Structure 1
Amino acid sequence: MALEQFGVMPDGTPVERVTITGGGLSAKILSYGAVLQDLRLDGFEKPLVLGFETLENYLTYKSHFGATAGRVANRICDGRFELDGKSYQLDINFIEKHSLHGGTHGIGTRVWTFDKIEADKIEMSIDLADGEMGYPGNMKIKLVYSLLANGVLDILMTATTDAPTLCNLAHHSYFNLEGSASILDHELQIDSSRYTEVSSELIPTGKLLSVEGTTLDFRAKKSIGSASKVTPIDNNFCIEETAGSLRRVATLSSAASGISMDVMTTEPGLQAYDGVNIKQGAPGLDGLVMGSHSGFCLEPQIWPDAINHEGFPSPILRPDEEYLPAHAICVQQKLDWFDAN
């Protein structure tokens, strides 16, 4: 366990970094954006996530590298929604038309507080004021990162509000399980037969489409490149209609490193993104020069723009409720399970 200063925000707010170890993993977490800056597996020298060595690069390259996105992750059409008969206009920060990841100053770009630090676990929190980015309600968010036995990164989020509002938080790491410049040779499997159709602006149309016969059919493992080289991947896969119990929903693996990673979640959706828009030349950890397809995101969450589509899982959070999703990233090297299934 180690706590150190990582940098200073433009307004003078200090940013801290904590290092935790346990279960065969080590992780570095920043107070900026609750960012998972670095994740490593014992016996493998390269980082398993994309990150930057300096705070300045996080502020320059943005893209939520390792951050927690919210208070509503993903996109909301025109940044508008109606709740209990009242209309709300959110901050617009995506193609000058829609709201993305909670707005320009969403929680992935804010400085959090480290509340409790242990050798293999940290607890963090952030308070959001009523009206911030256009959202109603004072909201308190808590986040716990834990390193558990057998290579498990456990992520537990909670949120409460004093007024009806929206809440949909997502962990936004870009994974690379071999430390190479591209993840196109990684293999992916997702337990989903449907995905949300989107417009050319990546806004859901309201239709659910079958993956059958499409490049998005990952029900059986296949290389990311076999799909991404045809059509870029930035899609929500429909796992369930509502939140459920913690279960495995996807597996990412690299034959080059022998590392396999299971994604487990309670959430009804999984946004997959192939990192096609990562800026060329971005200076990553350990000297990695990043660019398009350097990392792959697997983001458990409620379906995007859910508030504006009847029948989508609800993102509404009320004062008498607690938002309580759970996620786990299970990392192993030379894992036989993936090859046998």
Structure 2
Amino acid sequence: MIETKSVIVEPFGKTQACQEVSLFHLKNSKGVEAVLTNYGATLVSFMCPDRDGNIEDIVLGFDNIEAYEKDECYIGSTVGRNCNRIAEGKFELAGKEFNLPINNGPNHLHGGIDAFNKRVWGSEVCDENSVKFTLRSVSNENGYPGNLDISVQYTLNDNNELRIDYRGFTDELTLCNLTNHSYFNLTGGCKSSVLNHELKISASCFTPVDENMIPTGEMMPVKSSPFDFTTFKTLKADWNQDENDQLKIANGYDHNFALDEDEEIRVQAIDPRSGRRLTVKSSQPGLHLYTGNFLKQDIIGKEGKPYENQDGFCLECQYFPNAINVGDFTSPVLSPDDKYEEFIVFKVDSI
């Protein structure tokens, strides 16, 4: 174990390709600790106090690198080049059509096969309580044009904020749309499902999907629908999938919300039992809420716990799904003349 500044670095084993992987511990003066690995630029654990001061882990994950290599649910990882779905894996850029690997029904999902979540990233301990992961994605990797150089920097401060800064540069037109795919469970140690968690999302509209989970292009008001989280309600409050086609298609929530531009706080989540609260801020226009509808795949998590459906929820800040093919959505296109710069902040406290 090596202590660099206030960041503790320790070995996390080797991949099947014999690449060494490390854990990076960021800890603040309040006892909050974030543990990262350079495999997938992944958030491995996030230790936070409840209202009584009991510090427990609020994200799903694994105890060893072997489990992360087998994982197909993107648990805790950085996903890209283009997170979420692209319809039929096709898009056009500068008059040329590109075809990407199909890995989710008829669609391309989260950058393709062996994408950013399965790569060993470069790592650098930066300022106090900060680590930066770097990666070059070469041209034509998973079908994307252009060489893309990206960095993902995690910083933990004494306000209990874990900030993620994304930066990217390319040498030709390409797509860049990155997010973090952590599964949160504020009970601590995944004591129960997340259906009793209360959420508030600053979004007046969401993007409904077709039978293949691709947005129809419509911006639908959330009012008077199961997607209305403009005031706090539990995830299970409108869970009756038989009464809502959108929930039935996705087996729960697996939908993008169009975030209100005038709201700094994008999402708040509360576990009433522990009192833990998670507050999310982001520069990105969309928030994809996923309620872990396909977690039950014989996945054995930390301390030997089998994960079940709805044991965690994801708050994926990003550009809208399939945005490259929908003219009214914010474009994920990055040019050599621009740089990709976005951020997400996860703040924890208790009530």
Alignment TM-score, normalising by the size of structure 2: 0.90
**Residue in 2 aligned with 1:307?**
324
Query: Which moved further from structure 2: 160-169 or 208-217?
Result: 208-217
Corresponding position: 1:107 with 2:116? yes
Aligned 8 A contact 1:116 1:122 in 2: yes
Structure 2 counterparts to residues 166-181 of structure 1, below 5 A = 166-179=175-188, 180-181=191-192
C-alpha distance in structure 2 between counterparts of 1:229 and 1:59, whole Å: 35
1:280 is displaced (CA, Å) by 5.1
Aligned pairs, how many? 330
* 126, 139, 143: which one aligns with 1:130: 139
* 30, 33, 50: which one aligns with 2:37: 30
C-alpha distance in structure 1 between counterparts of 2:275 and 2:298, whole Å: 27
Q: Which amino acid is the alignment partner of residue 271 of structure 2? A: S
Change in CA separation of 1:274 and 1:255 when aligned onto 2, cut-off 3 Å: same
Change in CA separation of 1:108 and 1:189 when aligned onto 2, cut-off 3 Å: same
**Residue in 2 aligned with 1:2?**
8
**Residue in 2 aligned with 1:338?**
none
**Residue in 2 aligned with 1:164?**
173
* 149, 153, 160: which one aligns with 1:144: 153
Aligned 8 A contact 1:251 1:260 in 2: yes
Corresponding position: 1:60 with 2:77? no
C-alpha distance in structure 1 between counterparts of 2:307 and 2:56, whole Å: 14
* Identity, % of aligned positions: 35
Structure 2 counterparts to residues 227-306 of structure 1, below 5 A = 227-230=238-241, 231=247, 232-240=252-260, 247-279=264-296, 281-306=298-323
**Residue in 2 aligned with 1:328?**
345
**Residue in 2 aligned with 1:182?**
193
**Residue in 2 aligned with 1:74?**
84
C-alpha distance in structure 2 between counterparts of 1:292 and 1:102, whole Å: 24
Aligned 8 A contact 2:200 2:229 in 1: yes
- Flag structure 2 segments of 5+ consecutive residues without an equivalent: 1-6, 242-246
> CA-atom RMSD, angstroms?
1.6
Aligned 8 A contact 1:246 1:326 in 2: no
Aligned 8 A contact 2:202 2:263 in 1: no
Aligned 8 A contact 1:51 1:65 in 2: yes
- Equivalent residue of 1:59, what SS? helix
C-alpha distance in structure 1 between counterparts of 2:233 and 2:193, whole Å: 16
Change in CA separation of 1:23 and 1:88 when aligned onto 2, cut-off 3 Å: farther
1:98 is displaced (CA, Å) by 1.1
1:132 is displaced (CA, Å) by 0.3
Query: Which moved further from structure 2: 80-89 or 277-286?
Result: 277-286
1:184-216 deviation per Cα after TM superposition (whole angstroms, max 9, x unaligned): 000001011111111111111111111122111
Change in CA separation of 1:228 and 1:287 when aligned onto 2, cut-off 3 Å: farther
Aligned 8 A contact 1:245 1:266 in 2: no
- Flag structure 1 segments of 5+ consecutive residues without an equivalent: 335-341
Alignment TM-score, normalising by the size of structure 1: 0.93
